[in-house]
Amino acid sequence: MRVIGIESSCDETAVAVFDTERGLLSHRLHSQIALHQAYGGVVPELASRDHIKRLLPLVREALTAAHSSRESVDGVAYTAGPGLIGALLVGAGFARSLAYAWAKPAIGIHHLEGHLLAPLLEPEAPPFPFLALLVSGGHTQLVDVAGLGEYRILGQTLDDAAGEAFDKTAKMLGLPYPGGAALAKLAECGRPGRFNFPRPMLDRPGLDFSFSGLKTAALVALRGRVLDEETRADVARGFQEAVVDTLAEKTRRALVGGGYRRLVVAGGVGANMRLRRRLVDIARDAGAAVYFPRAEFCTDNGAMIALAGALRLAAGERASLAVDARASWELGVAGSAR
C-alpha cells in the first residue's frame, strides 16, 4: 500500500510518499517562516494562499523523488484537523480532488495522530501499546496509545500549549518567530538558578498542565530590567528549566502510574534537547524504553500524515467523498466524514 500524504494545517506545506512494504520513499516541505516573520506570527490568510501555490509543485517533487508514478499510488492522506481552517481547507480540497482525479481513495487524518505515530517512521519503531507525550505549538497532552486509532487522553494543558509558551516567551525576549528553538539556543548560555519560575500544577494530583502562568511569570521577571544578553539568556534558561521540569515530572507520574514499558515523545517541542535528555533519564529509571522521531519529524511534516493514512487505508478504512476539515477536533473522537 503506497500513500501520498499532505500536511497543510499551519505554516508548513509538506508532502511525502510512504509505502507499507518499503517505508518512507520521499518527503518534501516548504516552510512559511519567512512569509510570516515580519508579522511576528502566522497570518492565516497568507498561510492559506501560500499552501495553494506550493502544493502541486511539492506533489510533483515528492512523486519524482519516490520514483513513483501516480498509478503506483494507492491512496491520498491529508490533515483534516485540528489547525487553521483556511489552511486545512486548501489541503483537504486539493487532496480530495487529486484522489478523485486519480480514482483512488482519500482519507482525512487527525494532525495529532500523525505526530504520535511519527516515531514509527524510524528504523526502531515502538510497538503498541505506549504512552505518548505530545508537545506541539497547539497541544500538550499525555496520551495512552493502545493501538492504531485507540487513543485515550490522560492529561492535557488547561490553557497554553508548551510550544505556545515557548513562542510567547521568546517574543518577549526579542527573538524572531517561531521562537521555541531560538529560546532553547539562548538558554544554553544562561545560568541556572538566577530566575526560578513556578512549576505549574506539580503540587496537584492528575496529569493536566498549565503554562499560561509561567509565561506571565517570565513577563514579570523581565519588566523594568535592563535586557542585556546575560539577563535574556538567564531568563530563557529559567523558563526552559521550568517547562522541562513540569513536562518531565507529569510524564514520570503517567509512566509509573500506568506501568508503561514504552514512552513516545512527539511534536515540535520534542525537538528540545534538554527535554529529551530529561525524558531519557526518567524512562530509564521507570524501566521503560523511549522513542523520539528524528528532529525534522518532530515538527510538522508530510511523512507522518502519509504513514497514518497508509496504516488506516491498509486496515480497510474508507471515507466518503466529503472535504473533511475541522479547526477543532479532539484526538480519539471519530471523524465526521469517515
Residues making contact with ligand KG4 (CB under 6 A):
10, 136-138, 163, 166-167, 178-181, 184, 267-269, 271-272, 299-300
Counting contacts by CB under 5 A, is residue 12 touching Zn ion?
A: no
Query: Strands 2-7, 12-19: parallel, antiparallel or unpaired by DSSP?
Result: antiparallel
For residue 330, which amino acid is it?
E
Is residue 167 near Zn ion by the rule CB under 5 A?
no
Q: What are phi and psi of 138, to 5 degrees?
A: -110, -15
> Of residues 108-137, which lie at the interface with Zn ion (CB under 5 A)?
136
Torsions phi, psi of 30, nearest 5?
A: -120, 120
Q: Which is nearer to Zn ion, 116 or 235 (CB)?
A: 116
Q: What residue type is assigned to position 198 of the chain?
A: P
Q: Which residues contact 293 (CB under 8 A, 6 or more apart)?
A: 118, 119, 121, 122, 266, 270, 304
Judged by beta carbon distances under 5 to 8 A according to partner kind, the member of ligand KG4, Zn ion, none in contact with residue 163 is ligand KG4
- Residue 86 interface partner, choices Zn ion, ligand KG4, none, CB cut-off 5-8 Å depending on type: none
Distance CA(109)–CA(305), nearest Å, equals 7
Q: Does 13 bind Zn ion (CB under 5 A)?
A: no
CA quadruple 65, 67, 71, 72: dihedral sign: negative
First to last CA, the chain: 19
Give me the phi and psi of 211, to 5 degrees please.
-120, -5
Interface with Zn ion, residue 7, by CB under 5 A: no
User: Minimum CB separation from ligand KG4 for residue 30, in Å?
Assistant: 14
The nearest distance, CB 32 to ligand KG4, in angstroms, is 12
Q: Which segments of 211-272 does DSSP mark as H helices, in order?
A: 212-222, 229-258
- From the list ligand KG4, Zn ion, none, pick the one residue 271 interacts with, judged by a Cβ distance below 5 to 8 Å according to partner type: ligand KG4
Residue 11 binding Zn ion, by CB under 5 A: no
- Provide, rounded to whole angstroms, the least separation between the CB of residue 256 and ligand KG4: 25
Q: Quick one: how far is CA 1 from the chain centroid?
A: 25
Out of Zn ion, ligand KG4, none, what residue 264 binds, judged by CB under 5 to 8 A for its kind, is none
Residue 184 binding partner per list Zn ion, ligand KG4, none, with a CB distance cut-off of 5 to 8 Å that depends on partner kind: ligand KG4
Residue closer to ligand KG4 by CB (options 157, 299) is 299
Q: Tell me, what amino acid is at 35?
A: L
The DSSP output letter for 192 is T
Q: Return the residue of 7, 12, 208, 300 that touches Zn ion, per CB under 5 A.
A: 300
Min dist CB 257 to ligand KG4, Å, is 26
Nearer to ligand KG4, 163 or 200 (CB): 163
Residue 309: its H or E element: helix 303-314
Whichever of 5 and 179 has its CB closer to ligand KG4, that residue is 179
Q: Which positions lie near Zn ion, rule CB under 5 A?
A: 136, 300
